[in-house]
Amino acid sequence: MLIPHPLLGLRDAQEFTYLGDASLMDRPDPTLDNAETAFCDYVFMRDNPAGVHRELWFHEQGDRSWLVVTRNTITHEILGAELAKDLKLNRKDAQ
C-alpha cells in the first residue's frame, strides 16, 4: 500500500505504524459525569466498518507526523491522507 503523504508524496505503508480508528483523536472530557463510561468506550469499543475507514498512521520512519488516512478495508484502496495536526487545528478554528 502507498500512502499519499501531504508533504512527502507517495510513501510505502511500511514506513508507518498503524494505530487505529481516527476517532482516537477525540479523547473524552475527563471532567464529565459519564467520563468513566466514555473512556471505556474510547479505549475498547470500535465501529470496525467493512468499507471506508478513517484511521491514524504514524510516519515513524519518515517525518514522524501523524496522518489520518482514508482507506477501504475491503479493497485496501487508499482514498486520501491528511495531516492529523491540520485537522485538529482546522477544527479548533471552526469552534
Partner 1 sequence: MKFSGFRVVKEALTGHKGWGALWRNPEPKPDYDIVIIGGGGHGLATAFYLAKTFGKARVAVLEKGWLGSGNIGRNTTIIRSNYLLPGNEPFYEFSMKLWENLEQETNFNSMVSQRGIINLFHTDGQRDAFRRRGNAMMLAGADARLLDQSELRKMAPFLNFDNARFPIKGGLMQSRAGTARHDGVVWGYARGADMRGVDIIQNCEVTGFRIENGAVKGVETSRGYIGAGKVGVAVAGNSSRVMAKAGMRLPMESHVLQAFVSEGLKPTIPGVITFGAGHFYVSQSDKGGLVFGGDIDGYNSYAQRGNLPVVEDVLEGGMALMPMIGRGRLLRSWGGVMDMSMDGSPIIDRTDIEGLYFNGGWCYGGFKAAPASGYAFAHLLATDRPHETASAYRFDRFARGHIIDEKGVGAQPNLH
Binding interface with partner 1 (CB under 8 A): 1, 12-14, 18-21, 37, 40-41, 43-50, 53, 55, 71, 73-76
Smallest gap from residue 7 Cβ to partner 1 (A)? 21
Smallest gap from residue 83 Cβ to partner 1 (A)? 19
User: Would you say the C-alpha torsion 44, 49, 54, 56 has a positive or negative sign?
Assistant: positive
> For partner 1, which is the closer residue by CB, 79 or 89?
79
What is the spatial distance between Cα 42 and Cα 89, in angstroms, rounded to a whole number?
A: 21
Nearest-5° angle of CA 70, CA 19, CA 36? 110
Smallest gap from residue 95 Cβ to partner 1 (A)? 27
